[in-house]
């Protein structure tokens, strides 16, 4: 998310692909696939309505949770051979996890972005005033 805020959608997608490829390279096809779907759905949801942080976040949460609920319903049965009733029982908890993870991805990234991208205000300490020749002459 932080690459989205600083550099735009294309950079965010590249960052997501690089991060997920590391999971794939470690041999975790299932985890990499789920991570890729989760991260891309969060990014795309936010990109669709990124005019305001609240509406972008809400869209990202809905996008991620909706897509991952459907993906987990099918992929947990395929990847891990879980019975359908077990998967259905897990879906509310996985949905809560996805909401939480999306907020963990978005909120700190946005706070870092706003903190770094703000123009810095000049501040003077009391010691700089005392040593300045022009201020002493006043």
Q: What is the pLDDT of residues 98-122, one digit of tens each?
A: 999 999 999 999 999 999 987 766 5
CB count within 10 Å of CB 50 equals 18
pTM, rounded to two decimals: 0.80
The domain spans of the chain are: 2-120
Q: Find where tokens 């990124």 sit.
A: 50
Tens of pLDDT, residue by residue over 51-85, are: 789 999 999 999 999 999 999 999 999 999 999 99
Asked whether the beta carbons of 102 and 4 are under 8 A apart, the reply is no
Class in CATH terms, 2-120: mainly alpha
How far apart CA 39 and CA 20 sit, in angstroms, is: 9
Residue 8 C-alpha from the chain's centroid: 13
């Amino acid at each position: 998310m932080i690459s989205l805020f600083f550099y735009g959608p294309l950079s965010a997608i590249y960052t997501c692909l690089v991060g997920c490829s590391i999971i794939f390279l470690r041999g975790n096809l299932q985890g990499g696939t789920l991570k890729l779907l989760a991260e891309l759905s969060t990014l795309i949801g936010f990109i669709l309505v990124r005019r305001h942080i609240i509406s972008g976040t809400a869209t990202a949460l809905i996008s991620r949770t909706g897509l991952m609920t459907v993906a987990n319903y099918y992929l947990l049965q395929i990847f891990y051979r879980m019975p359908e009733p077990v998967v259905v029982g897990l879906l509310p908890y996985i949905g809560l996890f996805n909401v939480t993870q999306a907020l963990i991805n978005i909120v700190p990234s946005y706070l870092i972005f706003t903190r770094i991208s703000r123009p810095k205000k000049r501040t003077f300490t009391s010691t700089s005033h005392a040593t300045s020749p022009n201020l002493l002459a006043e």
